[in-house]
Amino acid sequence: MPGGVNSPVRAFGNVNSTPIFIKSASGAYLHDVDGNDYVDFIGSWGPMILGHSNPKIIKAIKDQANLGTSYGAPTEAETSIGELIRAAMPSIEKIRMVNSGTEATMSCIRLARGYTGRNKIIKFTGCYHGHVDSLLIKAGSGVSTFGLPDSPGIPEELARHTISVPYNDINAFSEVFESIKGELAAVIIEPIAGNMGFIPGDKDFLETLRIKTHESGSVLIFDEVMTGFRVSLGGAQELYGITPDLTALGKVIGGGLPVGAFGGKAEIMNFLAPEGPVYQAGTLSGNPLAVAAGKCLINELIKINPYDELEANASYLLTNIKNEMFKKEIPFSFNQIGGMFGFFFTDEFPNNFDDVSASSDKYFESFFKDCLNQGIYFAPSKYEAGFISTKHTKKILDEVINKVKVIYGT
């Protein structure tokens, strides 16, 4: 396998190291093949909001497996997970289940182009929307890590339809928007960016996108693959009170199995085959096993609504880490919303991709490696967000804080 991994960020390239191989996981912990345990702050890049191997989710998967894993035909469970998602995100009047976040965003782009009859896309530098040809233009996440802002293999004829604009920059967006609004199919954004570390969108910036896309008849796409059911039950669109035309989802809604989804205004979704002309399909889309896991997780989240507690615990952890950095005069800033957080080795909390790039790689790399040696697993790149679960108890967080004190001798 290229790099020994099935997804580039796992290769530890950004921290000049080699990855550990995992044997199992439970609660807040990963267990590697050498018998070491790690407090896990990645949580499979978002899905594990209730911790690993949640007994209810495992049971839901086992029960469904006994009834079959995939039928290639519609099931009632797909309808009910759609209703659960719509209840949490009323902007999603109609939904299509897929198998990954990439499929979700790719399908949103095709649907927006088919619906508007236009080609141009505006995205934002540092936002990553999966490895979609039209969106791997100054992407975030692994692409930034490997400095491949414009990946080879994407025809120039396609790439030129996508313009990438600095995040949180109303003037830069408005300038580009005014120049192409008649050709603009869609604006796609991570309303809270989790692929250049963790950078919340400014409310007036996001509101500007909403107003301008509405004015021009172009489609506003919120990529909530990471933030959906993670920052709050209704995702970033609930927190900001901004209604996108389409939303892409993934991660949490799959409960740890491969699931993505996209949905939004019925008027737009009706353009999707078989009702409309825009084609999209998938052998395992909405498969019973993944839907069983996703439904179980969403129902649990509706029942316990853990977001305030997750946010408070993330803040507790990061405030204490910052205190230790302060003692050593190491620049450190952080932020968290719900169960998602980010930290940077820079005094000023970043507001865009360039700010993140300017934060210290050296401090980040040594922090990551020292923590890993102490059994604490943060994301192996400053371009990634962190995730906390309901299994990260105060006791576990205090153990982490004490280990950070040992590392920095404070």
**Cβ at position 264, least distance to ligand KE4 in Å:** 16
User: Hey, which residues between 239 and 278 contact ligand KE4 (CB under 6 A)?
Assistant: 250, 260
Which residue lies nearest ligand KE4, judged by its C-beta? Answer: 101
Contact present, 255 and 39 (Cβ < 8 Å): no
Query: Does 43 interact with ligand KE4 (rule: CB under 6 A)?
Result: no
Annotated active-site residue 128? The verdict is yes
Candidates 223, 300, 311, 324; binder of ligand KE4 (CB under 6 A) is 223
Assign 3-class secondary structure to 372-391: HHCCEECCCCCCCCEECCCC
The whole-angstrom separation of Cα 397 and Cα 102 is 33
User: Of the listed pieces 58-66, 223-231, 317-325, 397-405, which binds ligand KE4 according to CB under 6 A?
Assistant: 223-231
Query: Does 400 interact with ligand KE4 (rule: CB under 6 A)?
Result: no
The whole-angstrom separation of Cα 319 and Cα 197 is 17
Query: Does 300 interact with ligand KE4 (rule: CB under 6 A)?
Result: no
**Cβ at position 137, least distance to ligand KE4 in Å:** 14
Query: Does 190 interact with ligand KE4 (rule: CB under 6 A)?
Result: yes
Half-sphere exposure of 110 (CA within 13 A, CB side): 18
CA 93 to chain centre: 22
**Cβ at position 165, least distance to ligand KE4 in Å:** 17
Annotated active-site residue 223? The verdict is yes
Contact present, 219 and 245 (Cβ < 8 Å): yes
Query: Does 126 interact with ligand KE4 (rule: CB under 6 A)?
Result: no
One of 138, 212, 251, 295 is an active-site residue; which one?
Answer: 251
Contact present, 43 and 341 (Cβ < 8 Å): no
Nearer Cβ to ligand KE4 (190/300): 190
Query: Does 145 interact with ligand KE4 (rule: CB under 6 A)?
Result: no
Assign 3-class secondary structure to 73-126: CCCHHHHHHHHHHHHHCCCCCEEEEECCHHHHHHHHHHHHHHHHCCCEEEEEEC
One of 128, 307, 363, 377 is an active-site residue; which one?
Answer: 128
**Cβ at position 51, least distance to ligand KE4 in Å:** 19
Q: What is the CA radius of gyration of the chain?
A: 21
- Among 91, 118, 41, 151, smallest CA distance to 391 is for 41
**Cβ at position 128, least distance to ligand KE4 in Å:** 6
- Which residue has tokens 């497996």? 65
* Beta bridge pairs of residue 211: none
- Which residue has tokens 């906390």? 388
- Among 50, 45, 142, 30, smallest CA distance to 376 is for 30
Contact present, 371 and 378 (Cβ < 8 Å): yes
Candidates 194, 197, 228, 255; binder of ligand KE4 (CB under 6 A) is 194
User: Hey, which residues between 150 and 189 contact ligand KE4 (CB under 6 A)?
Assistant: none
- Count, residues near ligand KE4 per rule CB under 6 A: 21
Query: Does 45 interact with ligand KE4 (rule: CB under 6 A)?
Result: yes
Identity of the amino acid at 74: P
User: Hey, which residues between 369 and 388 contact ligand KE4 (CB under 6 A)?
Assistant: 384
- Among 289, 351, 132, smallest CA distance to 223 is for 132
Query: Does 40 interact with ligand KE4 (rule: CB under 6 A)?
Result: no
Nearer Cβ to ligand KE4 (101/306): 101
Query: Does 319 interact with ligand KE4 (rule: CB under 6 A)?
Result: no
User: Of the listed pieces 127-135, 164-172, 202-210, 232-240, which binds ligand KE4 according to CB under 6 A?
Assistant: 127-135
Annotated active-site residue 251? The verdict is yes
Query: Does 135 interact with ligand KE4 (rule: CB under 6 A)?
Result: no
Burial class for 210, CB neighbours closer than 10 Å (0-12, 13-18, 19+): middle
β strands within 177-294, DSSP E:
184-189, 192-193, 199-200, 219-223, 246-250, 260-264
One of 120, 138, 212, 223 is an active-site residue; which one?
Answer: 223
Query: Does 125 interact with ligand KE4 (rule: CB under 6 A)?
Result: no
User: Hey, which residues between 76 and 105 contact ligand KE4 (CB under 6 A)?
Assistant: 100-102, 105
- Among 286, 171, 294, smallest CA distance to 229 is for 294
**Cβ at position 242, least distance to ligand KE4 in Å:** 17
Catalytic residue set: 128, 223, 251
* Residues binding ligand KE4 (CB under 6 A): 7, 9, 45, 100-102, 105, 128-130, 141-142, 190, 194-195, 223, 225-226, 250, 260, 384
